Amino acid sequence: MKIKSATHVYIIFTGYGFKKKIFGLNNLQRNDNPNQYVNCSRGLIQPWKQIVFYSFDSTMDKSLLCSIICLCEENGANVRGIVCDMGNSKLLKELDVYRDKKHFFENPCKKERKVYIFPDVPHCLKNLRNHCLDYDLCIKNSDGSMTVISKETFEKLIVDDQNDFKLCPKISLLHVNCSGNERQRVKYAVQLFSNTVGKALEFKYGESCSDQAKVICLIDAWFDVMDSRSKFHWKNSKCGLGIHQEEQMGVLNKMLKLTENMFFGKNSASLRQKPFQSGITVSIKSTLDLYSELKGSVSRDF
């Protein structure tokens, strides 16, 4: 399938862990194979998508990715980025995401062009929520102090917010006690790290929780910027990137700094950054650089 020349696209990686039996050639039975992929090419500007690769028994690596990119390029697509979750560990390791936090690689067909890496933001947010509830989220401040957000922070707010007029009507103990498949639901993580919860903490507990409130509101604003789906929205941060450019770029840069200074548990010296922290850093840097490139080369608003 040929597509219109100079169409900017990105490639999405979706892995499926099928529980049902899959039958291939000669009725060969394959059960619970974790290496099942569907890759889609999707327009950055035009609203379209197309499956470009699928496999039930392949492991996604850099070599296979480059061959997919080259096939897309040969058929008229300008591949500008890839989107995948942090479960693609082999690929991300080969792309130096874990070790060097590298957020792009050279286009195998067009050496002058970069392909940006976008670790899946909802997946990163869920991991951030999980580590916060399990180990406590700690942030080193510039003055040497430490801001701590723990499971108890949210539990106290939920218990105290049981009046007829709730400040956080969508939040319940399920949000902090979820386990198993419930932890896979993005909604619970988004609602827990929301502007509503941040403002409620500051309203109920004042200065004692102002730092925690600011962190939660920043995480909410960062997710809004990265999850924007329309040009205009009632929240400035959720508008298309560039509509409120100064505010949105400020949010992304603040989140970069926050990610660099966060750790989990009480001993900051003994803990390295988690893989999802690299994912947040890489996705933000890719967003900033790709926006800058497209803004200068494509005569269209975003």
The structural domains of the chain, with segments of one domain joined by +, span 7-119, 122-271
Calculate the average pLDDT of the chain: 86
- Residue 299 confidence (pLDDT): 58
Q: What is the pLDDT of residues 77-119, one digit of tens each?
A: 899 999 988 888 888 999 999 888 899 999 999 888 999 999 9
Query: How many other CB atoms sit within 10 Å of the CB of residue 283?
Result: 24
CA-wise closest residue to 84 among 275, 262, 228: 275
| Greatest CA separation for the chain | 68
- Residue 268 confidence (pLDDT): 58
- Please tell me what DSSP assigns to residue 27: G
- Residue 265 confidence (pLDDT): 84
Residue 15 reports pLDDT greater than 60: no
Average pLDDT over residues 59-81: 91
Q: What is the pLDDT of residues 151-195, one digit of tens each?
A: 999 999 999 998 888 999 999 999 999 999 999 999 999 999 999
Tokens 């494509």 belong to: 298
Residue 17 reports pLDDT greater than 50: no
- Residue 169 confidence (pLDDT): 94
- Residue 301 confidence (pLDDT): 58
Kindly report which listed range (120-134, 143-157, 266-280) carries the lowest average pLDDT score: 266-280
- Residue 2 confidence (pLDDT): 52
User: What whole-number distance in Å separates Cα of residue 62 and Cα of residue 12?
Assistant: 14
Tokens 């990686």 belong to: 13
Residue 271 reports pLDDT greater than 70: no
Query: How many other CB atoms sit within 10 Å of the CB of residue 72?
Result: 22
| CA 192 remoteness from chain centre | 16
95 contacts: CB under 8 Å, gap ≥ 6: 62, 102, 105, 117
- Residue 267 confidence (pLDDT): 62
Residue type, 154: F
Q: What is the pTM of this model?
A: 0.88
Residue 32 reports pLDDT greater than 80: no
User: What whole-number distance in Å separates Cα of residue 178 and Cα of residue 187?
Assistant: 12
Confidence of residue 266 (pLDDT cuts 50, 70, 90): low
Residue 25 reports pLDDT greater than 60: no
